Amino acid sequence: VFGIVGLAPGRSISPRLHEGAYRALGLADHRFISISLEHERDLQRLLETPSDRHGRRFDGLTVVSPFKEQALVVADDIDEAARTCGAANLLIRTKRGWRAETTDAWGVLAPLRRRGIDLHGRRVIVVGCGGAGRAAAAGLRDAGALVKLANRHPARARFAADLLGLPWVGLDDLDVSTCNLIVNATPLGRDGEPPAFDAGRLARGAIVVDFVYADQPTPLTQQARAAGHEVIDGREVVVVEVARQFERMTGHVLSESLACELAGWSTESSSQPALT
C-alpha cells in the first residue's frame, strides 16, 4: 500500500497515475491512497502506526506541501540529495525504517538532459525557495550551472541561500534578462494566477521550466511560448517525477508515455519532444 500525504493532496494527479499503472502492469494487489494531514505530528503518527484502522500498512509515501521538511525529521535514513536541500518528497519503508529521498531535482534535470542541454556555466534563476526549488537549485548547481535563487519572502530566501551556498535576490529586484534558464518553483499559475516574473523580459533563447501543472497550459508557459522560448512545462516535470517515484516504491517501471496516457495528456500536442 502506497499513498500521498499533504495538506491538500487531492489536487495531485499521482493517485490516478499510480492506480492506473497498477492496473496496466497487472499489480492487482497494490493500492495508492490520498491522505490529508493537518499537522506535522500527524505524519509522525502515520509512520509509527503499524497499520491504520482499515488494516493498511504503508510501504511508501509521496510527500507534498507543507510536509517536505518534516519528512526529514521523521526519517530513519536520508539520501544525499534530500539532505542537501533540506527536504524530501518521497518516503520509502526499508528494513531499517523509513528512507527519505527527493525526486524534485530529477524532474528538472531529466527533461533538460533529454534535450541535450549543456548546463555547465549556464546562468540559472530558480524562483521559489521551498523544497522543490531548493532541490532543483542544488541539482542544477551540481550539474555545473551558475544558480541564483529568487523568492518573495527574504527570510525564506536567506535560509535557502545559506543552506545551499548560493546567491539570492528578492522578487522586486529580480532581473530575468540576466539568465538563460529560469525555473518556476512557486505554486503561481495553478489556479490561473499571473506568473511570478515576466517571461517577455527573458533573454533570447532562454529556457523556462515550470513545476506547476494543469490540464491546460499555465499562464507562464503560454507567455513564454508566445515570446518564442523553449518550455518544459509542469506536466512533463510531474510525469518524470511520478515515474521515478513509482519505480523506487514498487521496483516496477512506469514508462512516461503510459503516465501521459493515464493522465489524459497527449505527448504529440505539445511542442516538447515525445516522452519515452
Active site residues: 68
The one-character DSSP state at 178 is G
SS3 259: helix
What would the grid cell of residue 62 be? 509521496
How many CB atoms neighbour CB 95 within 10 A? 4
SS3 251: coil
End-to-end CA distance of the chain: 27
Contact partners, residue 162, CB within 8 Å, separation at least 6? none
- Asked if 1 and 58 count as a contact pair (C-beta separation under 8 A), the reply is yes
